[in-house]
Structure 1
Amino acid sequence: MTPAFNEVIHSPYRLRICALLQPVTELEFGVVKEVLGITDANLSKNLRVLSDAGYIQIRKETSPNRQDRRRLTWIKLT
């Protein structure tokens, strides 16, 4: 079997996202954004593509440590 190029996973940012997630259970959106040095919009778009393809799961959770009760976004590989 010949390895095939997969446009979903082989995009530079999406490949880096998967590499960041591989050794951990999950990471928070802000951590991934900071490590990659990209905008919220760019990260969100790439996460959506990975999620739609079934490579990652995204969950939102209210942060008990924040006064404004904003939700945190957690990402993990499937």
Structure 2
Amino acid sequence: MDTWVPPREREPLPVPLSVYGGRHDQIIGADRLLAWRAFTTNFGGLEAYEGDHFYLMRHQQPLAAAVTAAVRSATS
């Protein structure tokens, strides 16, 4: 991810995409997470959890439930 460079001419993918992050992340801010919406025609939004870059360590069950719900929604 750190070295990936998007192609100059890109079309958004026709797939659902949801983004998750920590509210107090000093490494990846909400603006960078929201930038993912440019890569899809079906952006599911940003779900922010309390915490920093490692927010998922304290929110494993809610995050797993959110990802599961997003996948179910995308496949129904």
Q: TM-score, normalised by structure 2?
A: 0.24
Name the structure with the higher strand share.
2
Q: TM-score, normalised by structure 1?
A: 0.24
